[in-house]
Homo-oligomer: A and B are copies of this chain.
Amino acid sequence: MKRITVLLADDHMLVREGLRKILELERDLEVVGEAEDGRQAVAMVKKLRPEVVLMDIAMPMLNGLEATRQVLKAVPSTRVLILSAYSDEAYVKDAIESGARGYLLKQTSSRDVCQAIRIVQQGNTFFSPSVAKGLAARDQSSMERGEACKQRSNHLSSREREVLQLIAEGQLNKQVAAELGVSFKTVDKHRQNLMAKLNIHDVAGLTRYAIAEGIIKSSVRVTTA
């Protein structure tokens, strides 16, 4: 009986070994190799020709998304299944555009991982529930907006990013208004709009987003005092 060949790509040996143990308990799955960074993953796919690659995003040398593109360029029949700790829309979107066949969160159970491998091997796609939910939401809005979302996470306008930065620096709406020379209500409106676009509805979340996106640094100690 032919088993599904799998390559593991994750920079944490512990995670690789854990995954290997999990997959080895399945009769129809076979781990044929392990890569500890993106470049190794590409090289090993070329050599071993696994049917499925379980690929972490955050890896040194070459990140998982870039590795996915190179893998598919070299061996288009490979099914890449992204494994990530984060469900950020931008990552998911990038993953799909890179050609990944699925997106798993590390919160998912081992049973789901095995299922996902079988599903993508058969040519279908698999997304963790919370990821799929976000996808559906974004699909709708992209329908409505007529495929306007070409760039990555930058569906924010320049003005909105500007306001976001000031909010994340701890400024009040009226301080932002004074800073930008516009009305308090305009700032409030920008705030509402960017919150809706990002689907983040609290200042803490906006601040984390701004830091994660590099819009500000966590060490800023600006106005307040």
B-contacting residues of A (Cβ < 8 Å)?
11-15, 17-19, 21-22, 25, 83, 85-88, 104, 106-110, 113, 130, 167-170, 172, 199-209, 211-212, 216, 218-221, 224-225
**A201 proximity list for chain B (CB < 8 A):** 224
Tell me the complex Cα distance, A165–B66, Å. Answer: 30
Q: How far is the CB of A44 from chain B (nearest CB, A)?
A: 18
**A205 proximity list for chain B (CB < 8 A):** 170, 221, 224
**A172 proximity list for chain B (CB < 8 A):** 202
Tell me the complex Cα distance, A66–B17, Å. Answer: 28
Closest residue of B by beta carbon distance from A24: B21
Q: How far is the CB of A190 from chain B (nearest CB, A)?
A: 16
Q: How far is the CB of A141 from chain B (nearest CB, A)?
A: 15
Closest residue of B by beta carbon distance from A83: B14
Tell me the complex Cα distance, A205–B221, Å. Answer: 8
Question: Closest 5 interchain pairs by CB?
Answer: A18-B18, A12-B106, A21-B21, A207-B207, A211-B218
If A17-B109, A169-B204, A211-B211 are given as contacts, then 4 extra A-B residue pairs at C-beta distance below 8 Å, sorted by A number, are A85-B219, A203-B207, A204-B206, A208-B218
Q: How far is the CB of A21 from chain B (nearest CB, A)?
A: 4
Closest residue of B by beta carbon distance from A225: B199
Tell me the complex Cα distance, A18–B109, Å. Answer: 10
Tell me the complex Cα distance, A130–B205, Å. Answer: 29
- B13, B87, B167: the one contacting A221 at CB < 8 Å is B87
**A224 proximity list for chain B (CB < 8 A):** 199-202, 205
Q: Is the CB of A106 within 8 A of B13?
A: yes
